[in-house]
């Protein structure tokens, strides 16, 4: 089998295609969540706290040799942290829902054991009565 045909077989498997679709949708979802946090959640939160713009929050460390400001931008970090928490929560809820769908219904009766197993149990019970 040639490398090209092996690669084609690998790329056309359902799992690889599903993974590619998941990555693309995940990237788009990440952008939506970043916009939600940066444009909708953080401005009112900053206003409630006292007119703070979180993206401007930074710790000034000085200047580098070229004269450029050296900043620790903890406000941007807080926004990214909010992004992560929202995405993690949504993924948690999605996986929880999927796992709930995978569980067998509690009302379904377990399948009957094979006939040979039933016969062996009967023999065991008869031998136990004799002893």
**pLDDT tens digit string along 54-104?**
888 899 999 989 989 999 999 889 888 888 888 888 888 888 888 888 776
pTM of the model: 0.57
- CATH number for position 97: 1.10.1200.120
- Tell me which of 110 and 120 has the higher pLDDT: 120
CB 14 within 8 A of CB 67: no
Structural domain range at position 37: 3-130
How many domains does the chain fold into?
1
- Buried (b) or exposed (e) across 92-103, using 16+ Cβ within 10 A? eeeeeeeeeeee
How confident is the model over 21-48, as pLDDT tens digits?
888 988 888 888 888 888 888 888 888 8
């Amino acid at each position: 089998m040639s490398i090209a045909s092996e690669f084609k077989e690998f790329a056309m498997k359902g799992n690889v295609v599903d993974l590619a679709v998941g990555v693309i949708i995940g990237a788009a979802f990440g952008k939506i969540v970043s916009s939600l946090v940066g444009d909708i959640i953080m401005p009112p939160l900053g206003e409630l706290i006292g007119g703070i713009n979180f993206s401007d929050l930074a710790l000034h460390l000085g200047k580098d040799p070229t004269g450029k400001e050296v900043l620790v931008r903890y406000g941007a970090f807080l926004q990214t942290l909010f992004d992560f928490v929202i995405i993690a929560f949504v993924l948690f809820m999605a996986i929880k829902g999927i796992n709930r769908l995978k569980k067998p219904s509690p009302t379904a009766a377990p399948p009957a054991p094979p006939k040979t197993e039933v016969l062996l149990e009967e023999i065991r019970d008869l031998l136990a009565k004799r002893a």
